[in-house]
Amino acid sequence: MQRLGDFRLPPFFNYPPYFTLQPVRETREKQVQLWKDLILDYCRSQKLYIISLEEDFPLFSNPKIERSLSHEAKEVFLAALVYEGRAEWMDKGKG
């Protein structure tokens, strides 16, 4: 299992399609849920409280499979956390 420091990454992290927003609704819903869980678990374990869409964030790319999330994908996954009340935009003009 791949690790990011002392954090164990889930198997889907090495599956290239999960770094691209999926067009099929059911697949995208599962994808969004997996990413929300991953982001929350990672932030909790690393005691991170702020994620920037514009800066490098370790979860948003996987050099091993040469994949990175698009800006749109990052925004979709973080917006889902905001929608659930588990995060908030620092830029109040968002969302």
* Residue 43 domain flag: yes
Question: What confidence tens digit (pLDDT) does each residue in 35-58 have?
Answer: 999 999 999 999 988 898 888 899
Question: To the nearest 10°, the Cα dihedral for 63, 66, 70, 73?
Answer: -80
What CATH number did the domain enclosing 9 receive?
1.10.10.570
40: number of CA atoms within 13 Å, CB side? 16
pLDDT score of 1 more than 80: no
What does pLDDT average to over the chain? 91
Confidence of residue 91 (pLDDT cuts 50, 70, 90): confident
* Residue 90 domain flag: no
The total number of structural domains that make up the chain:
1
Closest CA to 74 of 92, 86, 58, 93: 58
Report the C-alpha gap between 51 and 56 in whole angstroms. 9
Domain span at residue 11 reads 3-83
5: number of CA atoms within 13 Å, CB side? 7
* Residue 32 domain flag: yes
Confidence of residue 94 (pLDDT cuts 50, 70, 90): low
